[in-house]
Protein backbone atom coordinates (compact mmCIF):
# COMPACT_ATOMS: atom_id res chain seq x y z
CA UNK A 1 0.00 0.00 0.00
CA UNK A 2 1.08 3.58 -0.56
CA UNK A 3 -0.82 6.17 1.50
CA UNK A 4 0.80 9.02 -0.40
CA UNK A 5 -1.45 11.67 -1.92
CA UNK A 6 -1.47 11.11 -5.67
CA UNK A 7 -0.11 7.59 -5.50
CA UNK A 8 -2.43 5.71 -3.14
CA UNK A 9 -5.15 8.28 -2.59
CA UNK A 10 -6.46 11.36 -4.34
CA UNK A 11 -9.67 13.38 -4.33
CA UNK A 12 -10.90 16.23 -6.49
CA UNK A 13 -14.49 17.49 -6.35
CA UNK A 14 -14.41 18.07 -10.12
CA UNK A 15 -13.63 14.47 -10.98
CA UNK A 16 -13.20 11.60 -8.52
CA UNK A 17 -12.05 10.32 -5.13
CA UNK A 18 -9.73 7.28 -5.27
CA UNK A 19 -8.10 5.01 -2.70
CA UNK A 20 -5.70 2.31 -3.94
CA UNK A 21 -4.24 -0.88 -2.49
CA UNK A 22 -1.68 -3.27 -3.88
CA UNK A 23 1.94 -3.09 -4.96
CA UNK A 24 2.88 0.22 -3.37
CA UNK A 25 6.02 0.85 -5.40
CA UNK A 26 4.05 0.58 -8.64
CA UNK A 27 1.28 2.85 -7.36
CA UNK A 28 3.96 5.39 -6.50
CA UNK A 29 5.69 5.10 -9.89
CA UNK A 30 2.43 5.50 -11.80
CA UNK A 31 0.72 7.96 -9.41
CA UNK A 32 -2.20 5.58 -9.82
CA UNK A 33 -4.84 7.52 -7.88
CA UNK A 34 -4.01 10.86 -9.47
CA UNK A 35 -3.71 9.27 -12.91
CA UNK A 36 -7.34 8.17 -12.76
CA UNK A 37 -8.45 11.69 -11.82
CA UNK A 38 -6.28 13.26 -14.54
CA UNK A 39 -7.57 10.86 -17.20
CA UNK A 40 -11.10 11.88 -16.26
CA UNK A 41 -10.55 15.61 -15.83
CA UNK A 42 -8.11 16.29 -18.67
CA UNK A 43 -8.63 13.26 -20.91
CA UNK A 44 -12.42 13.24 -20.77
CA UNK A 45 -12.58 9.56 -19.81
CA UNK A 46 -15.40 8.09 -17.76
CA UNK A 47 -14.51 6.41 -14.46
CA UNK A 48 -14.82 2.92 -15.96
CA UNK A 49 -12.44 3.77 -18.80
CA UNK A 50 -9.93 5.49 -16.51
CA UNK A 51 -9.68 2.63 -14.02
CA UNK A 52 -9.47 0.11 -16.86
CA UNK A 53 -6.42 1.90 -18.24
CA UNK A 54 -4.67 2.23 -14.88
CA UNK A 55 -5.58 -1.02 -13.07
CA UNK A 56 -5.62 -3.39 -16.04
CA UNK A 57 -2.89 -1.85 -18.22
CA UNK A 58 -0.45 0.44 -16.39
CA UNK A 59 -0.03 -1.44 -13.10
CA UNK A 60 0.56 -4.87 -14.69
CA UNK A 61 2.94 -3.37 -17.27
CA UNK A 62 5.26 -2.54 -14.35
CA UNK A 63 4.71 -5.86 -12.57
CA UNK A 64 2.15 -4.52 -10.12
CA UNK A 65 -1.16 -5.83 -8.89
CA UNK A 66 -3.90 -4.38 -6.75
CA UNK A 67 -7.12 -2.51 -6.92
CA UNK A 68 -8.98 0.58 -5.84
CA UNK A 69 -12.18 2.06 -4.58
CA UNK A 70 -13.38 5.15 -6.44
CA UNK A 71 -16.43 7.40 -6.49
CA UNK A 72 -16.78 9.97 -9.24
CA UNK A 73 -18.50 13.36 -9.08
CA UNK A 74 -21.72 11.81 -10.44
CA UNK A 75 -21.84 9.13 -7.73
CA UNK A 76 -20.63 6.24 -9.88
CA UNK A 77 -18.67 3.69 -7.83
CA UNK A 78 -15.85 1.41 -9.00
CA UNK A 79 -14.08 -1.40 -7.11
CA UNK A 80 -11.79 -2.97 -9.74
CA UNK A 81 -8.76 -5.16 -9.07
CA UNK A 82 -6.27 -7.16 -11.13
CA UNK A 83 -5.17 -9.45 -8.31
CA UNK A 84 -6.55 -12.75 -7.06
CA UNK A 85 -8.93 -10.84 -4.83
CA UNK A 86 -9.59 -7.54 -3.11
CA UNK A 87 -11.53 -8.30 0.03
CA UNK A 88 -13.76 -5.63 1.51
CA UNK A 89 -16.73 -5.41 3.83
Other beta carbons within 10 angstroms of residue 89's beta carbon come to: 2
Beta-sheet pairing, 16-22 with 77-78 = unpaired
Domains of the chain: 9-78 (3.60.20.30)
**Nearest C-alpha neighbor of 32 from the set 4, 63, 74:** 4
Contacts of 84 (CB under 8 A, 6+ apart): none
pLDDT at 70 exceeding the cut of 80: yes
pLDDT at 28 exceeding the cut of 90: yes
Once rounded to an integer, what is the mean pLDDT over residues 55-79?
96
Query: What is the rounded distance in angstroms from the CA atom of residue 45 to the CA atom of residue 26?
Result: 22
Share of the chain above pLDDT 90, in %: 88
Q: What is the mean pLDDT of the chain?
A: 94
Using 50, 70 and 90 to split pLDDT, how confident is the model at 75? Answer: very high
Once rounded to an integer, what is the mean pLDDT over residues 26-45?
96
Amino acid sequence: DSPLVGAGCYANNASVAVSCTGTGEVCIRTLAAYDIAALMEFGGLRLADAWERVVMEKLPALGGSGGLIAVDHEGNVALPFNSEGMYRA
